[in-house]
Amino acid sequence: MKQKRFPVLGFRVIGPPSEDNACAAISMMCFILKTSLAFAAIGYLVALGLYFAPLGWHIPSAVAYAICPAAYLTITVDPSFAGVALALGPVNASVYGVIGLAVGLVLWFLAKLLKRERR
């Protein structure tokens, strides 16, 4: 029986699993996970950076809400450092982590597509 391949990704659709497919799947998951974790770390640092930003910078609220979506949770109050570090930072990191997950998936897909076209 001839094995069919998914047209873009090159994975087998029919047939026994092979070591090549397993390695490709693991490398894909590692790349996407690393991208997601990097974005999450950046998101956490952005939340902490906004807490430590001097008042003299006069950051507009629209900009603050755009770069730190978790700031919507504290529209009426100024959070303490513990609130930022334990509540806003992780929420912001999860938002950025999901964005990193999507970006990593798109980058991996484009790299796989370009690699396939070179053959």
Residue 47 falls inside a structural domain: yes
**pTM of the complete model:** 0.74
**Are 47 and 68 in contact, with CB atoms under 8 Å apart?**
yes
What are the two backbone dihedrals, phi and then psi, of residue 116, each rounded to the nearest 5 degrees? -70, -35
Residue 111 falls inside a structural domain: yes
In tens digits, the chain (119 residues) has pLDDT values of 455 554 555 544 444 555 666 677 788 888 899 999 999 999 999 999 989 989 898 888 889 889 998 888 887 778 889 989 998 999 999 999 999 999 999 998 898 888 877 76
Residue-range definition of the domain harbouring residue 64: 36-118
Burial class (CB in 10 A: 0-12, 13-18, 19+), 95: middle
Placement of tokens 């497919």 in the chain: 21
Domains of the chain: total: 1
Residue 17 falls inside a structural domain: no
Among 35, 46, 29, residue whose Cα is nearest residue 92: 46
**Are 96 and 47 in contact, with CB atoms under 8 Å apart?**
no
Q: What is the Cα–Cα distance from 20 to 4, expressed in whole angstroms?
A: 15
